Amino acid sequence: MANKVERNTVYKRWVRAAFASRSRLLATVAAKFRCNLMWAEPFRPKDGPRRSFMTAWLGDVRLLAAAAALCGLPLLGNCTSNPPPPDPQAMAAPPTEPEMPASIRPEEIVGRWGYGSYHRDEDLKRTEVAARAQCGQPVVIDRGPGGGIMMYLADSAQLQELHLKGSPSGKNYIGPPGPAGGMQDREIVSFDGRTMVLRWIDPEVAGRYGIGVYVRCAPEGTAKTAKRMPPPSAPPPPNTQ
């Protein structure tokens, strides 16, 4: 008889511990998923008619399933909640830095130019001579409405306003708005006011177009005049004495 009473006591303690564990589980679910489970108060034997432990536990299983449906608790898969959507402001692109002014002014580029191109460095001088000969059909670079210069981009038949852009390295570039040295830019390799050498940044374009040489032409309407030689001096009169 004493053994039976002792077994019943142990069983009751185990049941109370199981009920307490169930209560902690439901409270953890409510805290993690921020849902109200006040209607799901843990089972207390003293508050109503006694039920067997198996009946109470099956009720807890149904209760937990209902809580999962209301709170979005994933019962399948890896049991992890969906991550919050990314913040659009955090994904916004960083602000671009303002363009650094070039050491060459746009008005220095404006004018009429003879144009030629080369692929080998040893052809530079010959290309300058050939470009000067193209002044009969010059390339005209005008000032753009926004303060830039009007030139063509690679593979484009439409004039576009390009900007002169500087860089921390001291190099100057001509290209559309954007960071200096972009793939559509041309580096000003050399410029002395009379001759300008431009190199495409894009290797594929540079391979097709070569390195451009611009030689400044005389202002329109100015004709080259040959130097006149002074007339020969008259011979002295013969001596008749």
- 90-132 per-position pLDDT tens digit: 555 444 445 689 999 999 999 999 999 999 999 999 999 999 9
Instruction: Let me know if residue 99 belongs to a domain.
Output: no
Most confidently modeled range among 21-25, 88-92, 205-209, 233-237: 205-209
**Res 129: pLDDT:** 97
Whether residues 7 and 57 share a domain: the answer is yes
Whether residues 123 and 25 share a domain: the answer is no
Q: From residue 19, give the alpha-carbon distance in Å to each of 31, 36, 41, 57.
A: 19, 20, 11, 8
β-strand pairing of 160-165 with 195-200: unpaired
Tell me the torsion sign for CA atoms 40, 45, 47, 48.
Answer: positive
Instruction: Let me know if residue 18 belongs to a domain.
Output: yes
Last residue of a domain, one of 27, 56, 71: 71
Whether residues 157 and 210 share a domain: the answer is yes
Whether residues 166 and 116 share a domain: the answer is yes
Whether residues 114 and 24 share a domain: the answer is no
Whether residues 138 and 42 share a domain: the answer is no
Answer whether residue 11 shows pLDDT above 70: no
Instruction: Let me know if residue 184 belongs to a domain.
Output: yes
Most confidently modeled range among 4-18, 40-54, 57-71, 128-142: 128-142
Give which of 105, 100, 124 is closest to 193, Cα–Cα: 105
Each residue of 133-159: pLDDT tens digit? 999 999 999 999 999 999 999 999 999
Whether residues 66 and 112 share a domain: the answer is no
Last residue of a domain, one of 21, 55, 71: 71
Higher-pLDDT residue of 13 and 135 is 135
Answer whether residue 173 shows pLDDT above 80: yes
Instruction: Let me know if residue 196 belongs to a domain.
Output: yes
Instruction: Let me know if residue 55 belongs to a domain.
Output: yes
Whether residues 63 and 118 share a domain: the answer is no
Whether residues 129 and 65 share a domain: the answer is no
Rounded to the nearest 5 degrees, what angle is found at the Cα of 101, between the Cα atoms of 96 and 103? Answer: 150
Instruction: Let me know if residue 231 belongs to a domain.
Output: no
Report DSSP letters for the chain, one per residue. -HHHHHHHHHHHHHHHHHHHHHHHHHHHHHHHHT---GGGPPP-GGGSS---HHHHHHHHHHHHHHHHHHHT---STT--PPPPPPPHHHHSPPPPPPPPBPSS-HHHH-EEEEEEEESSGGGHHHHHHHHHGGGGSPEEEEE-TTSSEEEPPTT--S-EEEEEE--TTS--EEESSSSTT-TT-EEEEEE-SSEEEEEESSHHHHHHH-EEEEEEPPPTTPPP-PPPPPPPPPPPPP---
Instruction: Let me know if residue 79 belongs to a domain.
Output: no
Work out the number of other CB atoms within 10 angstroms of the CB of residue 107. 10
User: Which range of residues forms the domain containing residue 28?
Assistant: 2-71
Whether residues 67 and 110 share a domain: the answer is no
Which token pair is 58?
Answer: 């099956």
Q: Which of 1-5, 15-19, 142-146, 232-236 has the least mean pLDDT?
A: 232-236
Instruction: Let me know if residue 80 belongs to a domain.
Output: no
Specify the number of domains making up the chain.
Answer: 2
Whether residues 59 and 152 share a domain: the answer is no
Higher-pLDDT residue of 61 and 195 is 195
